[in-house]
């Protein structure tokens, strides 16, 4: 906590930090929340430090796009503190919905708001990493399946084939982590803002629909067209959509063993 406070003080001189709290641990960044002022994001690993400028530019371009919700806007340049990169972004009021809650109308509104963001060339320039890496299916086939317990290998290959057999759809903006605390609502249910765009990419909007299963699959089913729901269930069945999106958009598989340690309990829990 002390190191985050020191970084926050350097980025935001004069800001009061007595109410600052550390957010629950994330996979990519440590985050210090300064209510009403900012959130300070600090990279945890070298890859996160290297990609932070690109992620911050994504926020900048989204924030300038006239969206019907707020996104965290960069308040400072990306700054290095030793081998860690840090940036302060604007505070967004509201709060996320607890698991299993949320109306059909709310889930439909959030999904449509993200799906409808125009994927213009400026945004795609910073968002589309697919040309830079391997296809996600190759990562799963070569890096993941061989590491799974033998009883799961054929089944996951079958699920991979089902996902690859989905009819292609036009790319839309996919948030990649669209649930829980990343969607902020007002007390009366108005969509205020969407946070944490680290996994954003162009892709099938059904991926975000699957991530909304945080609020209950029945709610998702009623909030989206039947075909979107079918695709969402197919994506999720592969490895759990929250794991799957981490393989997409050209992202390297930096720790396949760690990935498998996370995936196997999910497979076991859904069998």
Token match 């924030």: residue?
63
Q: Are residues 77 and 118 in the same domain?
A: no
Residues composing the chain: 271
| Together in a domain, 54 and 153 | no
Q: How far apart are CA 47 and CA 55, in angstroms?
A: 12
Q: Do 247 and 153 reside in the same domain of the chain?
A: yes
How many whole angstroms separate alpha carbon 122 and alpha carbon 58?
9
Total domain count, the chain: 2
pLDDT for the residue 49: 94
**Domain, as residue range, for 138:** 104-270
Q: Are residues 49 and 127 in the same domain?
A: no
- Choose one of 61, 90, 119: the last residue of a domain: 90
Question: What is the pairing mode between strands 172-174 and 84-90?
Answer: unpaired
| Among candidate residues 90, 123, 143, the one where a domain is terminated | 90
Residue 137 in domain: yes
Helices (H), 215-255: 217-223, 226-239, 241-244
Same domain as 134, residue 47: no
**One pLDDT digit (tens) per residue for the chain, 271 residues:** 789 999 999 999 999 999 999 988 777 899 999 999 999 999 998 989 999 999 999 999 999 888 999 999 999 999 999 999 999 999 999 999 999 999 999 999 999 999 999 999 999 999 999 999 999 999 999 999 999 999 999 999 999 999 999 999 999 999 999 988 899 999 999 999 999 999 999 999 999 999 999 999 999 999 999 999 999 999 999 999 999 999 999 998 989 999 999 999 999 998 7
24 and 131 share one domain: no
Q: Are residues 55 and 177 in the same domain?
A: no
Tell me, yes or no, whether 129 and 229 share the same domain.
yes
């Amino acid at each position: 906590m002390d190191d985050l406070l020191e970084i926050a003080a350097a980025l935001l001189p004069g800001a009061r930090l007595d109410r600052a709290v550390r957010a629950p641990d994330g996979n990519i960044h440590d985050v210090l929340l300064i209510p009403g002022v900012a959130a300070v994001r600090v990279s945890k690993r070298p890859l996160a430090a290297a990609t932070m400028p690109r992620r911050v530019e994504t926020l900048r371009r989204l924030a300038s796009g006239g969206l019907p919700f707020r996104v965290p806007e960069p308040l400072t340049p990306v700054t290095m503190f030793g081998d860690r990169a840090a940036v302060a972004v604007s505070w967004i009021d509201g709060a996320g919905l607890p698991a299993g809650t949320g109306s059909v109308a709310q889930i439909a509104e959030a999904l449509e708001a993200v799906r409808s963001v125009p994927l213009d060339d400026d945004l795609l320039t910073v968002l589309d990493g697919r040309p830079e890496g391997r296809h996600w299916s190759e990562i799963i086939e070569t890096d993941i399946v061989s590491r799974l317990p033998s009883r799961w290998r054929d089944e996951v290959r079958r699920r991979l084939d089902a996902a690859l057999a989905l009819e292609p759809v036009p790319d839309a903006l996919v948030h990649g982590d669209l649930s829980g605390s990343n969607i902020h609502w007002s007390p009366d249910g108005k969509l205020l803002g969407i946070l944490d765009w680290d996994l954003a990419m162009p892709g099938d909007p059904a991926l975000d629909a699957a991530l909304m299963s945080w609020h209950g699959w029945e709610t998702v089913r009623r909030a989206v067209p039947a075909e979107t729901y079918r695709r969402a269930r197919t994506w999720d069945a592969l490895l759990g959509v929250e794991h799957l999106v981490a393989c997409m958009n050209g992202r390297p598989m930096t720790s396949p063993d760690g990935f498998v340690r996370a995936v196997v309990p999910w497979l076991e829990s859904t069998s």
